Amino acid sequence: MTKNAETIKNIALAGHNGSGKTSLAEALLFKAGVTDRLGKISEGNTVCDFDPEEIKRKVSVNTAVANFITDDIKVNIIDTPGLFDFEGGMREGITAAGTVMITVSGKSGVKVGTRKAYSFAEKLGKSKVFVITKLDDPNANFYNTLTELKTVFGPTVCPVVVPVIQNGEIASYINLIEMKAYKYDGNGNAVETAMPEGDITDKMDYRLDGLIQAISEAVAETDEELMEKFFEGTAFTQKELIDGIHRGVNSGTITPVIGVSASSLAGIDMLLKEISLLLPSPLEVSKPVAEDSNGEPVEIMCSASDPLSAFVFRTTVDPFVGKMSFIKVFSGVLKSGAQVFDSVSGASVKIGKLYNMCGKKQEEVDSANAGDIVVAVKADISTSDTLCDESRVVKFDSVIYPLPCFSMAVKAKAQGDESKISNGISRLLEEDPTLRYEQDPSTTEQILSGLGDQHLEIAASRLKDKFGADIKLTVPKVAYKETIRKKVKVEGKHKKQSGGHGQYGHVWIEFEPTVGDSLVFEERVFGGAVPKNYFPAVEKGIQESMKKGVLAGCPVVGLKAILVDGSYHPVDSSEMAFKTAASIAFKEGLKQADPVLLEPIGSLSVIVSDDKTGDVMGELNKRRGRMLGMNPAGDGMTEILADVPVREMHDFATYLRQVTRGLGEFTFEFVRYEQLPANLLTEVIAGMAGDED
Is 91 a member of any domain? yes
pLDDT at 198 over 70: no
Residues 383, 426: one domain? no
Given a cut of 80, is residue 200 above it in pLDDT? Answer: no
Domain that holds residue 513: 482-593
Same-domain status, 119 and 214? yes
Whether 616 and 503 map to the same domain: the answer is no
Residue 656 domain flag: yes
The pLDDT assigned to 414 comes to 81
Average pLDDT over residues 536-551: 94
CATH code of 412's domain: 3.30.70.870
User: Do 310 and 375 contact (CB within 8 A), yes or no?
Assistant: no
Among 221, 252, 278, the domain-final residue is: 278
Encode pLDDT of 4-29 as tens digits.
Answer: 899 999 999 999 999 999 999 999 99
Task: Kindly state whether residues 263 and 352 are assigned to the same domain.
Answer: no
Query: Which pTM value belongs to this model?
Result: 0.89
Residue 602's CATH number: 3.30.70.240
Asked, for residue 401, whether it belongs to a domain, the answer is: no
Which residue, of 430, 454, 474, is where some domain finishes? 474
Counting beta carbons within 10 angstroms of the beta carbon of residue 410, is it exposed (0 to 12), middle (13 to 18) or buried (19 or more)? buried
Answer whether residue 511 shows pLDDT above 70: yes
- Stretch 191-209: mean pLDDT, rounded? 78
| Strands of 455-592, DSSP E | 471-474, 481-484, 488-496, 503-513, 520-523, 559-567
Structure confidence at residue 223 (pLDDT): 87
Which residues have C-beta within 8 Å of that of residue 184, sequence separation ≥ 6?
173, 190, 191, 264, 265, 266, 267
| 687 lies in the same domain as 665 | yes
Residues 34 and 162 placed together within one structural domain of the fold: yes
Domain membership flag for residue 17? yes
**463 and 501 belong to one structural domain:** no
Per-residue pLDDT at 300: 95
Q: Would you say 519 and 559 are in contact if contact means Cβ atoms under 8 Å apart?
A: yes
495 and 609 assigned to the same domain: no
- Give the CATH number, domain containing residue 45: 3.40.50.300
The total number of structural domains in the chain stands at: 5
| Contact (CB, 8 A) for 291 and 297 | yes
155 and 268 inside one domain = yes
Residue 400 lies in a domain: no
The stretch 179-206 carries a mean pLDDT of 83
Strand bridging mode 559-567 / 520-523: parallel
Residue 354 lies in a domain: yes
Same structural domain for residues 635 and 676? yes
Question: Is the residue at 463 inside a domain?
Answer: yes
* Final residue of a structural domain among 278, 301, 332: 278
Does one domain contain both 248 and 304? no
Dump pLDDT digits (tens) for 499-510.
667 899 999 999
Distance CA 510, CA 560 (A): 8
- Residues 570 and 592: their CA atoms lie apart, in Å, by 31
Please state, rounded to an integer, the average pLDDT across all residues of the chain. Answer: 92
Q: Which of 560, 584, 550, 431 is nearest to 481 (CA)?
A: 550
Taking residue 323's Cβ as centre, other Cβ atoms within 10 Å add up to 18
| Residue 284 included in any domain | no
Do 683 and 654 share a structural domain? Answer: yes
What is the arithmetic mean of pLDDT over 111-133? 96
User: Secondary structure of the chain: what % helix, strand, coil (to 5)?
Assistant: 30, 35, 35
